[in-house]
Structure 1
Amino acid sequence: MDTDDLGLFGPGSVTWKVHDEPVLIVAGLRSLYLQALHPRAMAGVAQNSNYRADAWGRLVRTATYVGTVIYGTTAEAEAAGRRLRILHARMRATDPATGEEFRIDEPDLLRWVHVTEVESFVSTARRAGLSLTDAEVDGYYDEQRRAAALVGLDPADVPGSAAEVADYYRAVRPELRMTREAAETALFLTAPPIPWKLSLPARLGVSLGPPRWAYLGVAGTALGLLPPWALRLYGGLGLPTTALSADLSVRALRLVLAALPRNWREGPLQQAAKERAARFTATAG
């Protein structure tokens, strides 16, 4: 491995600043609630994924992919993107409204998933209390075009600033709606099966063990962080107090996570990237 390779982004990037926040676990869930509102994208997931049977396994695989793109070497990130493109190229789904068969790797669908992910990451980090200037937010979106290229998108066709993301959402909103699949997915995201070791208290007769309550709090916060227009699609949940409650909750969660030991807050990929960066700095100095 090239110890001088700091990957697609590196320690001076806005991307590393944003993704250094362990509270982004909430952002990942927020992006899934958003993605479920796109009927065609939701059909692609429902018809090609066993997420209900392997929810936590899928979560781990997704987190590993994101971590590799953000913190892996250039070669590791490109290899991960190549594997994902090959996987997506084989997948097809049927549009629930028209009956038309479509490819999972259509640019419009890839763009929707990319934008909801990166917008969720940076907006959640900011609302949790991370200090980011407007220029840094734009810089994050611009940097994330490199990640978009890995899944097969043309970076020029991907929003690269906060204004462009807002324009994109305005343009795509007429396509979004609450479908049966979206409602079922949202319910599943809010109350997924808890791994048996964590759900042991419930198995012993204790209603809703601590892990379940903790997860419900995270899910409620993720929902509250959705844009008002998305909350309205989820049934008018956008009450005036919702955003404030979500902001307070995500800020409190950030403080709790920041107090954890470093090896709990940072995964192996992130730790390895920081070690490479430290060696590079020492060598350069």
Structure 2
Amino acid sequence: MPRPAFLPDKLDVGLFGPRSVTWQLHADPAMWLAGICSLYLQALHPRAVAGVVQNSKFRTDPFGRLLHTAAYVVTVSYGTTAEAQRAASRVCRVHGALRGVDPESGEEFRIDEPDLLRWVHCAEVYSFLTVVRRAGFQLTDAQADRYLDEQRRSAALLGLDLDALPGSVSEYEDYFDRMRPVLRRTRDSDAIYDFLHRPPVPWWARTPRTAFYLPLGHLAYSLLPDWALELHGRRPFPRALATGVLRTVRLAGLAVPVTMRIRLPNNPLAKAIDRLGTGATPSRTLLPA
């Protein structure tokens, strides 16, 4: 029996729904590189990165944080409303129990301070948008603004005030301008840079890591905004080269149909299509005008 047609007025479409920009953009293959790029950007906030370095197991579980973050983003993007809320509640419980120590002042701080959560959210979402657009996913300026406005809903799940969040490209640029005096390269940001270039792996995987992952890790770094590259102080790939390789990687991903890319166990997007019907399959034709 064929799956039912998409019925948005009768079914739970989740936080965003198939006719959102989020639904289409987050299914793009370039999102993986965008996610890694966002970690480089987040690392420029001294307190935010100190909280990660002091509390994360990224050195002993190199891909755990990446996979957990990716799973959370996919669940909030494509899960039911209840699933998104449960995922956010788990994150809030974990963050609420964690503390960090400012490496400069020695002051203890909460990981879930609103300013820190806001920075992490904005760095992540802005990276998603700018990297995927640079990879060739075409959006109008209005659609880009709509995406950033949609993403305020995901931040609200973590307890952030909607009115205190930027919701357009210009508002994001203003936010980063205001944050610039706070941001800098630190020993902790260098640790994240090194980790994202050379994550610890068993001896037998070191050659593949050097041959395949290291160039991709540096590609993700090279996709940062110019001002963030200047703060990190490491030489990126030339801009034209980075863009060309990014688009090639994306095209290779697009060669695999979306229905095959998402058929992994418990993939929230696959479950959403099963729940809502094939009309919910991500497609540029569903982008809002």
TM-score (norm 2): 0.88
Query: Aligned residues, how many?
Result: 268
**CA distance in structure 2 between the partners assigned to 1:7 and 1:272 by the alignment:** 12
Match for 1:8 among 15, 24, 41?
15
1:103 paired residue among 102, 105, 110: 110
Number of the residue aligned with 1:176: 183
Give the secondary structure class of the aligned counterpart of 2:125: helix
Matched residue SS, 2:12: coil
Is contact 1:10–1:277 with CA below 8 Å preserved after alignment?
no
Name the aligned partner's letter for residue 69 of structure 1.
V
Report if aligned partners of 1:7, 1:73 keep a CA contact under 8 Å in 2: yes
Structure 2 residue 160 is matched with structure 1 residue 158: no
State the partner residue of 1:218: 216
Query: Which of 42, 56, 75 is the equivalent residue of 1:68?
Result: 75
Please, which runs of 5 or more residues in structure 1 have no aligned partner? 203-207
Q: What residue number does 1:81 align with?
A: 88
In structure 2, C-alpha distance between the alignment counterparts of 1:155 and 1:172, rounded to whole Å: 18
2:66 is the alignment partner of 1:59: yes
For residues 158-210 of structure 1, the C-alpha deviation after alignment (integer angstroms, 9 at most, x for no partner) is: 1100000000000001111111111121011111124x5xx7465xxxxx22x
**Displacement after TM superposition at 1:260 (Å):** 2.3
Q: Which residue of 1 aligns with 2:277?
A: 278
Superposition map of 1:1-285 within 5 A: 4-194=11-201, 196=202, 200=204, 208-209=207-208, 211-235=209-233, 237=235, 242-262=238-258, 264-266=260-262, 267=264, 268-278=267-277
Q: Distance in 1 between matches of 2:200 and 2:205?
A: 14
CA RMSD of aligned residues (A): 1.8
> Would you say the 8 A contact 1:4–1:280 is kept in 2?
no
**In 1, Cα distance between the equivalents of 2:205 and 2:182?**
43
Contact 1:9 1:16 in 2 (8 A): yes
Q: Write out per-residue CA displacement over residues 194-227 of structure 1, whole angstroms, 9 at most, x where no aligned residue.
A: 4x5xx7465xxxxx22x54221222121111101
CA distance in 2, matches of 1:11, 1:189: 32
CA distance in 2, matches of 1:201, 1:181: 25
In 2, Cα distance between equivalents of 1:218 and 1:10: 31
Q: Once structures 1 and 2 are overlaid, which stretch shifts more, 34-43 or 241-250?
A: 241-250
**SS in structure 1 of the partner of residue 63 of structure 2:** helix
Partners of 1:35 and 1:18 in 2: CA distance = 21
Counterparts of 1:16 and 1:125, CA distance in 2: 13
Cα offset, 1:17, TM superposition: 1.3
* Separation in 2, partners of 1:109, 1:259: 38
Unaligned 5+ segments in structure 2 are: 1-9, 281-289
Larger RCO, structure (CA 8 Å, separation 6 or more):
2
Q: Distance in 2 between matches of 1:225 and 1:246?
A: 7
Identity within the alignment, %: 49
**Matched residues in 2 for 1:36 and 1:193: separation?**
19
Shift in Å, 1:48: 1.2
Q: In 2, are the aligned partners of 1:11 and 1:277 still within 8 Å (CA)?
A: no
Question: Hey, what's the Cα distance between the residues in 2 that align with 1:108 and 1:245?
Answer: 35
Amino acid at match of 2:216: V
Query: How big is the shift at 1:10?
Result: 0.9
The amino acid that maps onto 1:257 is: G
Q: Which amino acid aligns with 1:260?
A: V
Q: In 1, distance between residues paired with 2:278 and 2:226?
A: 45
